[in-house]
């Protein structure tokens, strides 16, 4: 595997759970890391919808269960296991068709001994999930009773696509995301981006982008944040994160060949310096252009 170096560039990461790991990676590739957690994962105050799903599943009320995250698979199993016998729940899952949005939920399901009938290919967005379901079931999707394990927020596009295929879907929320308890590191990151004090920013999830801009709005600095990103290299882990960044008015400069953190940092280290030079050069030329010049 080719390796590169950030050559001392100041790299911001918004990771929470793997904060130490990504800081070490950035440093190993010659970057100066700053980590400002953008989210925390919290359980729902009430897991009643998950328990209702389990009861209905064990009564034969579903034909298809769609798992969107590995964490969601494990958390759902824990929640249900606190109320019902674990073996009964797993046996009920084995009696229905199970779909997985990529390798992480597939791995978690295999740990439980649950066969996976359908798995979405990379980059594992809702579009690939829908495509995999279409390929596997075709017209027989119509009328299926499906449960959709959600991964923090509802995905209205995915649910709409299921509705278009006349799938009778039921949401199964298991956990969701909130802003960190300590907002000061994230606020400092907003101010640093706006002030041009950072060179590279790494987005590993769409929620990181959502929360960064949510906080910037509350600080009255959303426009300054966007302006700052126009003079730094913006890294996106994959399609869903890129879509959220573009919704916020930011176009990422680099996405890895595969949506993996180590690969992103490695590949980005090889080209970040050149990308930064080109981007700041373009910004300088734009600022020098006379107001009436196209």
Query: How many separate domains does the chain show?
Result: 2
Q: Dig out the tokens for 34 from the structure.
A: 């700053």
Residues 31 and 119 in one domain: no
Residues 171 and 250 in one domain: no
Closest CA to 230 of 152, 285, 159: 285
Average pLDDT taken over every residue of the chain: 92
Closest CA to 79 of 170, 155, 171, 172: 172
Residues 194 and 171 in one domain: no
Residues 152 and 189 in one domain: no
Residue 276 structural domain = 10-39+181-288
Residues 165 and 241 in one domain: no
**CATH number of the domain to which 263 belongs:** 3.40.50.10090
- Decide if 3 contacts 25 (C-beta within 8 A): no
Mean pLDDT, rounded, for 102-114: 94
Chain segment 177-210, per-residue pLDDT in tens = 889 999 999 999 999 999 999 999 999 998 999 9
| Distance from chain centroid for Cα 292 | 41
Which of the given ranges, 127-136, 143-152, 278-287, has the highest pLDDT on average? Answer: 127-136
Q: What is 98-123 written as a DSSP string?
A: EEESSHHHHHHHHHTT---SEEPPTT
281 inside domain = yes
Chain segment 51-84, per-residue pLDDT in tens = 999 999 999 999 999 999 888 899 899 999 989 9
The Cα–Cα gap between 257 and 1 comes to 13
Residue ending a domain, choose from 177, 211, 238: 177
290 pLDDT band (50/70/90 cuts)?
A: low
Residues 255 and 271 in one domain: yes
pLDDT of residue 287: 64
42 pLDDT band (50/70/90 cuts)?
A: confident
- Decide if 272 contacts 254 (C-beta within 8 A): yes
pLDDT of residue 122: 87
- Decide if 170 contacts 148 (C-beta within 8 A): yes
Dihedral class, residue 176 (left if φ above 0, else alpha if ψ from -120 to 50, else beta): beta
Residues 76 and 138 in one domain: yes
């Amino acid at each position: 595997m080719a390796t590169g170096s950030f050559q001392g560039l100041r790299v911001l990461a918004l990771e929470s759970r793997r904060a130490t790991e990504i800081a070490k990676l950035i440093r190993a590739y010659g970057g100066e890391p700053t980590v400002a957690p953008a989210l925390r994962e919290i359980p729902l105050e009430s897991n009643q919808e998950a328990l209702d799903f389990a009861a209905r599943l064990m009564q034969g009320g579903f034909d298809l269960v769609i798992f969107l995250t590995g964490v969601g698979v494990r958390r759902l199993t824990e929640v249900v296991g606190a109320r019902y016998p674990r073996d009964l729940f797993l046996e009920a899952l084995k009696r229905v068709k199970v779909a997985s949005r990529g390798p992480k939920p597939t791995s978690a399901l295999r740990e439980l001994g649950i066969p996976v009938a359908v798995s979405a290919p990379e980059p594992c967005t809702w579009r690939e999930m829908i495509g995999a379901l279409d390929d596997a079931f075709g017209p027989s999707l119509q009328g299926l009773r499906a449960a959709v394990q959600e991964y923090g927020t509802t995905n209205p596009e995915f649910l709409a696509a299921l509705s278009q295929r006349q799938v009778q879907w039921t949401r199964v929320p298991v956990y969701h995301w909130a802003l960190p308890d300590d907002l000061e590191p994230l606020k400092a990151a907003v101010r640093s981006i706006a002030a041009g004090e950072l060179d590279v920013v790494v987005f590993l999830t769409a929620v990181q982008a959502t929360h960064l801009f949510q906080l910037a709005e509350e600080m009255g600095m959303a426009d300054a944040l966007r302006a700052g990103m126009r003079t730094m290299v913006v890294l996106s882990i994959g399609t869903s994160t890129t879509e959220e960044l573009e919704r916020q008015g930011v176009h990422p400069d680099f996405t890895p060949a595969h949506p993996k953190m180590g690969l992103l940092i490695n590949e980005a280290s090889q080209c970040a310096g050149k990308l930064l030079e080109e981007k700041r050069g373009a910004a300088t030329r734009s600022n020098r252009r006379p107001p009436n010049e196209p």
